[in-house]
Every structure is written in C-alpha cells, then in structure tokens.
Amino acid sequence: MNRQKILIGGIIVCVAVTVYAVIFKPFAPKFKAPEGGPKGIHVLCTNADCGFEDQHYDASARGRWPRTCPKCGQKTLYMPMRCPHCGELTAEPPTGYDKPSIKCIHCGKEIMLQPPMPQ
C-alpha cells in the first residue's frame, strides 16, 4: 500500500514537472538559481555608465520589470540573455515576447526572439 502511494506520488510529481516545463519553459529565466543554492536571479543593468550586475538579485519583492537598479537608481535592471552575435550578456525582455526582436546593448545588433509557435 505504501509502495503504491509512493509510486503514485512519483508519477504526479513527474507529470507536474513535465507540465510546468512545457508551459513555462519559453518564459523561464535563462539563469535559474539552483535549488537549495544561493537565492536570487541574475540581473544586469543596461545603463552603459553603470554596468551593475548581480548573480543573486532578490526578485521576490513586488515590482515590474525592468527593476530599479540599486547602483544607478534607474529603471534599467533586466534579466540578461547571451547575445548570439557578440556573446556578451544583454537585457532580456522581461515578460513574454511582445516584441519580435531586441537590440544588443553591446554590439547593437538585432536579436530575433522566437515566440513559442502554436501547434
């Protein structure tokens, strides 16, 4: 009986993880904090004069992206993504994909964003 419960529990967890991965993967941050590791996410200030970067930024506080940068005080704090052109970290659009592309803050080249295609 107990073994069966554990098995069912395991299946539920597997299904939940799969569903979560399928639904949220396109929107999940590229830099996830490891479970049990230091809390926080990777953030990058796009203000060229500032360049603030934090690997363990506490994003639990309420607020919309972009967040206020703790160094320069401007609303230029984004989650970063790696530019496919120059390989540097650039700002990732905060919510969904409302724009087809963004410009890299380093090389200025356009990065095409690929929204999840409805199947």
Q: How many residues bind Zn ion (CB under 5 A)?
A: 13
Query: Which CB sits closer to Zn ion, 21 or 86?
Result: 86
Supply φ then ψ for residue 57, to 5 degrees. Answer: -70, 130
Query: What is the spatial distance between Cα 98 and Cα 109, in angstroms, rounded to a whole number?
Result: 18
Enclosing H/E stretch for 68:
none
Applying CB under 5 A, the span of 11-19, 29-37, 38-46, 59-67 interacting with Zn ion comes to 38-46
State which residue, 69 or 102, has the beta carbon closest to Zn ion: 69
* The two structure tokens encoding residue 20: 């979560």
Assign 92 to helix, strand or coil.
Answer: strand
Which residues are at the interface with Zn ion (CB under 5 A)?
45, 47, 50, 52, 69, 71-72, 83, 85-86, 104, 106-107
